[in-house]
Amino acid sequence: MDSLMPVLAFVGVFVVLMGLRALRSGPVAPIEVPPDGKLLLDVRSPTEFRSGHLKGAVNLPLGAVAAQAERLGAKDREIVLYCRSGNRSGMALQQLRRLGFTNLKNLGGVHDGPRQGYPLA
């Protein structure tokens, strides 16, 4: 039992830190996904999304992508993902691909959007 104490302490600290991180970024709002057509998905935090996003984008933070994937519609629906730099959207793309989504594109960073025909809101 004494050998488990450091592990339990680490797990406890980790859980507290993750909870504080979630509070700092704000709660994850329910997503409203348009029923048809292309979905523009911003996988940044709610705080980042509120500071500016692409027109028509839906915010679904990276940490919630797998849990909320069933709300994204048909698995062959076109989904264009972006974040700040393209890193988180790449990870989200891989998560969705593992869940069976097939029509995915990583737009890259939010500032790449206007260059690719997606204006800022």
Question: What are the catalytic residues?
Answer: 83
Task: Please provide the distance, in angstroms rounded to a whole number, between the alpha carbons at the two ends of the chain.
Answer: 56
Task: Return the number of other C-beta atoms located less than 10 Å from residue 93's C-beta.
Answer: 22
- Tell me the three state secondary structure of residue 65: helix
CB-side neighbour CA atoms (13 Å) of 59: 19
Query: Which residue is listed with tokens 């891989």?
Result: 94
Please state, in angstroms and rounded to a whole number, the distance separating the CA atoms of residues 4 and 2.
Answer: 5
Do residues 103 and 72 lie in contact, with contact meaning Cβ atoms separated by under 8 Å? no
